């Protein structure tokens, strides 16, 4: 990594990373690092395999901010080229099942032999070891065995899958990025790279640490939808408005709950019901009836910005236009697509501008892009072998 920083280049300017094509957590981690200024080269399959949710490539926003090339990794010459690239990389990201990279000749042993300073990032659902390591699975399965899925949902209803936010992107992608950065910091002391084994089951379990503590203390009920912050409490929930849209409220503290009651024009004596579980069903009816009397926008005008702990429930389409998010620049429009801006924000090392998802480079264009990664003889060898034709 370079010690020099160019204004607007990002905190990770100078960091170079190879990303092997994958879905979910692997491209998420690569995007997070690229958003902070890392130079990422994504290697895609020559013959695409249908994975994940299919859409036009420009809408696969996790692939922004990097250059892509296509290789047939089953060709020994292509694998040899990847090893050439690894020599000059700080880190590598891959999300295949355990053993796939080894069979391609690109496992940790081969890569670290070429570059002992390499941080080799691996992300899977079950992890590199354990009896389920070689089994197929998806986000919902990884949540299921950690206890997290069982806890999410309403009382008397089945568990509710929380999109892929918790397993793929938080437990997988975020933890992979964290592990890579931790290994890079350690490398500054030891001079050596290492392997990062980011398993979604481990990440989700880690994210659940506080809840395991609450359960052990006997203050978290095993029955979902009966606790303070899982829709069990009527003052921490969503409510339907007159127009069929929803609002969220979460005044856990007594003083904030009193503020909500005042703004809803409900009797002040209801404040005592907050600490009386026996009265929660009746309190929920009172709140539901009140919110049903006005539209979401009317409640937003009345409650937003107060200490009632209120926010309207917005759709993905609506969120970029919320005044607070507009003021902060939480979303950006790139290539005509509204998308989240890089996060978190650093006071000095501002993130570089977002570059839109681009098609993989081919032919001489691909070779030219690899000029910053490879010496001339390796480029000439790749050209003579027709790896990008």
Residue 341 CB contacts under 8 Å (≥ 6 apart), including other chains: 329, 330, 331, 332, 351, 354
HEC letters along 134-176: CCCCCHHHHHHHHCHHHHCCCCCCCCCCCCCHHHHHHHHHHHH
Look up 322 and say whether it is catalytic: no
Per-position b or e across 307-337, b if 16+ CB within 10 A of its CB: ebbbbbebeeeeebebeeeeeeeebeebeee
Kind of pairing, strands 246-249 and 310-312? antiparallel
CA distance 285 to 174: 39
Handedness of CA 126, 128, 129, 132 (dihedral sign): positive
Q: Strand 237-240's sheet: what is its strand order?
A: 237-240, 246-249, 310-312
* Cis preceding linkage at 344, omega within 30: yes
- Please give the full DSSP string across 179-208, using - where no structure is assigned: HHHHHHHHHHHHS--EEEEEEHHHHHHHHT
DSSP β-bridge partners for residue 91 = 17, 119
Q: Which of 138, 307, 322, 335 is catalytic?
A: 138
Q: Which helix (H) or strand (E) holds 339?
A: strand 337-340
Q: Which of 35, 90, 168, 197 is catalytic?
A: 168
CA distance 45 to 36: 26
Joined together, the tokens standing for residue 354 give: 């977002």
Residue 229 CB contacts under 8 Å (≥ 6 apart), including other chains: 236, 250, 252
Joined together, the tokens standing for residue 237 give: 């929930």
Q: Which residue carries 């700080």 as its tokens?
A: 90
| Distance in Å from the first CA to the final CA of the chain | 32
DSSP letter (8 states) at residue 304: T
Closest to 197 in 3D by CA, of 187, 183, 185 = 183
Closest to 149 in 3D by CA, of 157, 159, 158, 139 = 159
Look up 197 and say whether it is catalytic: no
Which of the residues are catalytic? 138, 168
């Amino acid at each position: 990594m370079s010690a020099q920083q160019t204004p607007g280049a990002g905190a990770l300017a100078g960091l170079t990373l190879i990303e092997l094509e994958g879905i979910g957590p692997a491209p998420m981690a690569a995007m997070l690092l690229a958003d902070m200024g890392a130079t990422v080269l994504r290697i895609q399959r020559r013959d695409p395999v249908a994975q994940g949710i299919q859409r036009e490539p420009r809408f696969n926003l996790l692939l922004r901010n990097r250059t892509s090339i296509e290789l047939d990794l089953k060709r020994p010459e292509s694998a040899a080229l990847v090893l050439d690239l690894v020599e000059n990389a700080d880190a590598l990201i891959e999300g295949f099942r355990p053993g796939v990279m080894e069979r391609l000749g690109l496992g940790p042993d081969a890569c670290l032999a070429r570059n002992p300073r390499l941080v080799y990032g691996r992300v899977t659902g079950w992890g590199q070891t354990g009896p389920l390591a070689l089994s197929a699975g998806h986000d919902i399965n990884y949540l299921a065995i950690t206890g997290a899925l069982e806890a999410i949902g309403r009382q008397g209803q089945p568990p509710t899958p929380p999109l892929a936010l918790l397993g793929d992107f938080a437990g997988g992608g975020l933890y992979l990025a964290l592990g890579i950065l931790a290994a890079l910091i350690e490398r500054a002391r030891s001079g050596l790279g290492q392997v990062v084994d980011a398993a979604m089951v481990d990440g989700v379990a880690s994210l659940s640490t506080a809840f395991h503590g609450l359960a052990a203390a006997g203050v978290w009920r095993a029955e979902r939808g009966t606790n303070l912050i899982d829709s069990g409490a009527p003052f921490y929930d969503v409510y339907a408005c007159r127009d069929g849209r929803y609002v969220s409220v979460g005044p856990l503290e007594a003083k904030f709950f009193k503020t909500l009651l005042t703004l809803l024009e409900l009797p002040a004596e209801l404040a005592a019901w907050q600490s009386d579980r026996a009265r929660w069903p009746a309190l929920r009816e009172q709140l539901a009836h009140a919110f049903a009397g006005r539209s979401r926008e009317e409640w937003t005008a009345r409650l937003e910005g107060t200490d009632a702990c209120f926010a309207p429930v917005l759709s993905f389409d609506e969120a970029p236009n919320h005044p607070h998010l507009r003021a902060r620049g939480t979303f950006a429009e790139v290539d005509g697509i509204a998308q989240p801006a890089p996060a978190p924000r650093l006071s000095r090392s501002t993130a570089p501008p977002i570059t839109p998802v681009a098609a993989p480079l081919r032919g001489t264009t691909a070779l030219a892009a690899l000029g910053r990664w490879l010496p001339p003889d390796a480029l000439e060898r790749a050209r003579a072998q027709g790896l990008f034709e």
